[in-house]
Amino acid sequence: MITMKELRKAAATVRRICGKADIGIVLGSGLGGFDSTLIGARRISYSDIPGFPISTVEGHAGEFAVGTLRDKRVMIMSGRFHSYEGYSMDEVTMPVRVMALLGVKTLILTNAAGGVNTGFNPGDLMLITDYINLSGRNPLRGPNMDAFGPRFPDMTDAYTPELRALALEKAAQLNIPLQQGVYCWMNGPTYETPAEVRMARLLGADAVGMSTVPETIVARHSGMRVLGISTITNMAAGVLDAPINHEDVLAMGERTQENFTALLEAIVDGIRDQSPEAL
């Protein structure tokens, strides 16, 4: 298990190079270009952070960037970690703990997801209203880290209602269609089978993917407000008579960049100032 001492050492390194931030953003597959919107960005590679994992997936740059966006101090994680890469839940969620230590109180999670809802289309953006955890894993398993939060955190509003309302408001102002739905987390790295997708749909899922939920859980445990947005890069297995591959996922992510960037900037602009509390 990653200790508080190791988390503080990693946070101190990022703070020395990049500074602190109020808002954190995690970029999913094919969405990495958003960090270019930061003004005066300072960057650090994951490989230069003590004890940090290394992202191994194509489309994940593997660095933190901290700068100013719409007069807010924003920390962007370009590339996340997944359990299918062989990392433990502690390692997958280590960046969220580090963000908490660096003052982040609002976390925006993005991902590339497969559309389970047959009313969706590739290229849609989906506001995550809730999640279903079908992985059999939970990042809070083991001794509780009391400095971050309680043993049994409430997940009634895993995705903060006020932030969801803000996202819908900004999407309407920008005339950007924004679907809403439930995100289902499965382990991967295989894409889901048609039978698994049918099961997810019966359970109430609208999209399926291999990330985001562990980060959501740890962020909420740490007292952060959380917003989640999925880019529907493909329809999940069995919805269309077509194979799924990672290259097409990345390409669709890149094609949605204009709407994604505009919406994310507007959301950041609308987030109220907060006073971070040091752990």
Which residues are tagged catalytic? 29, 60, 82, 84-85, 112, 210-211, 234, 246
CA–CA gap between residue 166 and residue 277 (Å, rounded): 23
Q: Are strands 72-78 and 63-69 parallel, antiparallel or unpaired?
A: antiparallel
Beta strands in the chain (DSSP E): 23-27, 39-45, 63-69, 72-78, 106-115, 125-133, 178-185, 207-209, 225-235
What secondary structure letter does DSSP report for 245? -
> 271 and 106 in contact (C-beta within 8 Å)?
yes
Total Cβ atoms within 10 A of residue 141: 10
- DSSP letters along 138-149, please? -TT-SS--TTT-
How distant is the alpha carbon of residue 55 from its chain centre?
Answer: 14
